[in-house]
Structure 1
Amino acid sequence: MTKVIVNGACGRMGQAVLKAVLDDKELELVGAVDIKGGKDVGELLGIGKTNIIVGEDLQTVIKAVKPDVMVDFTRPDVIFNNACTALKNHVSPVIGTTGLSDAEKDKLNELAIANNTPAFIAANFAIGAVLMMMMAKEAAKYLPNVEIIELHHDQKLDAPSGTAITTAEMISEVRKPMKQGHPDETEKITGARGAEYNGIPIHSVRLPGYVAHQEVIFGGLGQTLTLRHDSIDRTSFMPGVVLACKKVTGLKGLVRNLDQIL
């Protein structure tokens, strides 16, 4: 049994992870952490008492229950320190919070190697989203003109999404940076053409009602190709999270993205 704690346990994603871990026969939920701690996990989920109380301090919970893995769905401004705390205590972080810089990822990789404790981070844990990104990379070989539209709930803190950035990075592996559109194009309103990654426009939508959605639109002579993925419920991420929990301890350093462990 892999012993798991969930950080950010009281949030919507955190609660979904708690339930997924409890439901899996190969994982054991041994602890939970959140700034809104104090409740029994079972009461939080409406399933009756589990005798696992949500703690408020990550270090304290780690020392008390000695987990193998920490799943983190918290905030971009605290995830780096959370992951460092886990690695220094020889706990493998499975990170679902986006917003880490490349420099922070490099530091986590160094820390993971130094402590002989692997770590895993994914921009998106939904299997369908991973397939979308892989297909986008393949399509870009033949249709290099592309734009990305990502749509999320209005409580998401970072833009563009980690999925959109990862998609652009994967496309850039097979597509040279290029200027798209008319060379004399101008924006009547700044930002109308979106952000840009290696010449790939990325547009972020934030509205209530959405969960996590993305379109990758390719244009060619007399044709377009659209790849779209929709997470209509947070349960779509759980198979990927569970898989990462089971595989992370067998990895080396910091491994990025779900396609690396499928």
Structure 2
Amino acid sequence: MTTKKKIRVCVAGATGWAGSELCKGIVLTADLELVSAVSRKSAGKDLNELLNLSNKQKIPVFGTIEEALAIPCDVLVEYTKPDIAKHQVITAIQHGVNVVVGASGLSDADYEEIGAVADENKQAVLAVGNFAISVVLLNKFAEMAAKYMPNWEIIDYASDAKVDSPSGSTLELANKLAKVSASNKTIPIEDTKGIKETRGADINGMQVHSVRLPGYVIALETIFGMEDEKLILKHEAGNSAKPYVQGALLAIRKVDTFTGLKRGLDNVMDFNS
């Protein structure tokens, strides 16, 4: 009987809040193998020691993606900051490695460029604004609601320490809803009396408001309104990164099932079964 080959994974941002929790999940998963990591602050160390992992083999930590890719891998999970994420994603693609993007802050223009590179190199990129299953369901339900309720706005909540605004989860949702239609505005924003900026930012034809305050981790809310009725869809995250692990593991397993760029975990999930 032939043993199925494990999927070899490199995690960029492996010592971060979400990346470290994912690494712990990977080493406990039979069909995945964590072979390397990227963390500029921890370069040269063993990830096993840094995260107290139970892995028997050394997991080297590198300071750059170029160094990390010297160790063969099948999938890069990108969990770093937007200022370096695009470079690392494109570098991995050009090295024949599929990519799962968990970093937030990349723009639609960034993804257009990434998608073109993926197509050119016949590799796959699965960009996921939020790996939590509740967020995947929120996105799906919001797409359904947008077909019947034409007025909506999005509120994006996060900690005061979050530097990017809006969040990757919000950008992903706005991207999906834009494919349904632009949100209807009874009074055009340019006709607003007073301070127009209080109406939020226009992203793909809908108003988005970002709240950054202590006490929040990540929350995402879409409010649909019609005369005498409204629908509120809201996801709230706690302090742990555990809710994101199962979705990320699913993304790693599914990223080789297509070529090019897909945005959203729902693209590789079966909602019909």
TM-score (norm 1): 0.91
Q: Distance in 1 between matches of 2:243 and 2:205?
A: 31
CA distance in 2, matches of 1:82, 1:258: 20
CA RMSD of aligned residues (A): 2.0
Q: 1:31 aligns with which of 33, 36, 52?
A: 36
Q: Deviations over 1:100-141 (max 9, x none)?
A: 233332222222232222221111211110110111111122
What does the per-residue CA deviation read over 1:226-253, in whole Å, with 9 as the maximum and x for residues that have no partner? 1111122311111111011111122111
Matches within 5 A, 1:248-259: 248-259=255-266
Which runs of structure 2 are paired with 1:1-262 in the superposition (5 Å)?
Answer: 1-37=6-42, 38-47=44-53, 50=56, 51-63=58-70, 65-181=71-187, 185-188=192-195, 191-232=197-238, 233-262=240-269
Q: After TM superposition, give the deviation of residue 177 of structure 1 in Å.
A: 4.9
**Partner-residue secondary structure (3-state), 1:17:** helix
Runs of 5+ in structure 1 lacking a partner?
none
In 2: Cα distance, 1:131 partner to 1:109 partner: 25
Tell me the CA shift for residue 168 of structure 1: 2.5
Unmatched runs of 5 consecutive residues or more in structure 2: 1-5
Once the two structures are overlaid, the 10-residue window that deviates more, 99-108 or 226-235, is: 99-108
Distance 1:168 1:116, change over 3 A: closer
Equivalent position SS for 1:169 = helix
**Partners of 1:109 and 1:143 in 2: CA distance:** 31
Whole-angstrom CA distance in 1 between matches of 2:181 and 2:118:
31
Kept in 2, the 8 Å contact 1:95–1:121? The answer is yes
Cα distance in 2 for partners of 1:106, 1:10 equals: 28
Instruction: Tell me the equivalent position of 2:3.
Output: none
Distance 1:176 1:94 in 2: 28
Aligned partners of 2:128 and 2:172 also within 8 Å = no
Helix, strand or coil at the partner of 2:109: helix
Return closer, same or farther for 1:134/1:48 CA change in 2, 3 Å cut-off.
closer
TM-score (norm 2): 0.88
Figure out how many residues of one structure are paired with residues of the other and give that number.
260
Letter in 1 for 2:22: V
Q: Do the aligned residues in 2 keep the contact of 1:87 with 1:117 (CA within 8 Å)?
A: yes
Cα contact 2:27–2:53 (8 A) shared by 1: no
